[in-house]
Amino acid sequence: MLKGILAISGHSGLFKMVAESKNNIIVESLDTGKRMPVYSTAKVSALEDIAIYTYEGDVPLKDIFKTISEKEDGGAAISAKASGSELKAYFETVLPEYDKERVYVSDIKKVFLWYNTLQEKELLDFTETEEEEKDTKE
């Protein structure tokens, strides 16, 4: 679901990896559709590798997105432009056990911004997550 979706430090929005070469990758902005090279010196984070701290451990971003999607019936989440207290209150309904000392409002903003971007572009597909859960239970 989140495979190939990247966040790049210093650039707003999310990017999809298009191609790879020896010393860079080519990404395409999900917002503008423009392509650009990203060099190995840039700080690139794959959304599938990101997790949120909780008191019990870390929760992968895809699980948080799935919870938001279920809460909103597949619709958009709260705006990332809402006040810090509103964002924290909403996030607590999604992930009540999140570590309030290590997860900042800026992190929560990114979660909702990314979720809304992916939801708007219809890139949220939880079928593989459900299949993984079935495999684990069997």
pLDDT digits over 40-85, tens only?
Answer: 899 999 999 999 999 999 999 999 999 999 999 999 999 999 999 9
Query: Is residue 79 included in any domain, yes or no?
Result: yes
Q: Same domain, yes or no, for 71 and 98? A: yes
The structure tokens 């707003």 sit at: 12
- For the chain, the first-to-last Cα distance in angstroms comes to 22
Range of the domain at 29: 5-47
- Per-residue pLDDT, 103: 97
Confidence at 130, pLDDT banded by 50, 70, 90: low
Number of domains in the chain: 2
Q: What is the pTM of this model?
A: 0.88
Structural domain includes residue 138: no
- pLDDT at position 97 is 97
Q: Do 88 and 30 fall within a single domain?
A: no
Establish if 54 belongs to a structural domain: yes
What residue spans of the chain are helical by DSSP H?
A: 61-71, 84-94, 105-120, 127-137
